[in-house]
Structure 1
Amino acid sequence: MLVEVEKVRTFPWSPFPIAQIQTPIGRTAVPWHGPPDTPLGQYDVEWTIDTDVTWGLTAKPAAESAPAILAGGHCVILRGRLRLTPDGAGVLDLSGSLIMLDFAEPPPPETDGTWIQIYVPHGDVHLYPYEL
């Protein structure tokens, strides 16, 4: 996903710099795995989620059928279309960016192909810049 890095700051409580990003589907701040002195501007990034998702608690059906990135206080809210994998994991399609999800327990089979929202603590969402 192409993001606009608006600001990158380091904090004593975070092992990684925190990037304030803007995307076509929303704005948030998350750990940045690029250099702390990253120049502001546009970057292609890969999203990772470093926590298990629990259906009904941190993952729920979405009220809207449109991708979104929302700031939710202590968490990042990602809305996308869910695809289940045969091994009980999932893939969240976030406006063309695919994010692997590990579920604590497999979600109901009828959630495959539906719009969901996941709620992830800021520290468990990471962005990795890459060059095309």
Structure 2
Amino acid sequence: MLIELEKVAKFPGSPWLAQIRTPFGRTTVRWCGDQTAEPGEYHVEWTVDEDIVWGRNAEPAADSGPGVRPGGHCIVLRGQLNPTEDGAAVLDFDGSLILLDLADPLPDGVAGTWVELFIEREKIALYPYEL
């Protein structure tokens, strides 16, 4: 996914954080790239290191379309959720696919719907890459 990096900073007791902008929202997220990265456009891969539990950190979205926003101590991602054959799931986040681990199978009727994920800030990260 192409994002606009606004700045990278580190606060005491926290990982490196990036303030980013996407076409559908802004947030601050853990940055796993060069800590001296200059503002500008970067291709990134999103990773989520938290099991998805329907009804706890995943729920139906009120709106359709991709979205990202801060949500207190978490980051809220909105995308289309689909299970995989091996018991995991994939969030289609504006064409970028984020692989997710599920604690339990998804409820019937959830596949392909718009959902919001509420992921703890420390459990989501961006990894920049070059094409």
Do the two structures share a fold, i.e. TM-score over 0.5?
Answer: yes
What code does the residue aligned with 2:4 have?
E
1:52 aligned counterpart, secondary structure? coil
Take 1:110 and 1:7, find their aligned partners in 2: how far apart are those partners?
40
2:19 paired with 1:29: no
Cα deviations across residues 86-130 of structure 1 (Å, max 9, x unaligned)?
A: 222100001111101111111113211111000001111100000
1:70 aligned counterpart, secondary structure? strand
2:12 paired with 1:12: yes
Aligned residue in 2 for 1:58: 57
When the two structures are aligned, how many residues end up with a matched partner?
131
What code does the residue aligned with 1:114 have?
T
Shift of 1:12: 2.4
After superposition, where does 1:30-109 map in structure 2 within 5 Å? 30-109=29-108
Gapped regions of structure 2 (runs ≥ 5): none
1:128 aligned counterpart, secondary structure? strand
Gapped regions of structure 1 (runs ≥ 5): none
Question: Percentage identity across aligned positions?
Answer: 53
What code does the residue aligned with 1:35 have?
D
1:109 aligned counterpart, secondary structure? coil
What code does the residue aligned with 2:6 have?
E
1:112 aligned counterpart, secondary structure? coil
What code does the residue aligned with 1:10 have?
K
1:47 aligned counterpart, secondary structure? strand
Q: Which runs of 4 or more aligned residues in structure 1 lie more than 2 Å from their structure 2 counterparts after TM superposition? A: none
Shift of 1:75: 0.6
2:101 aligned counterpart, secondary structure? strand
2:89 paired with 1:126: no
Shift of 1:67: 0.8
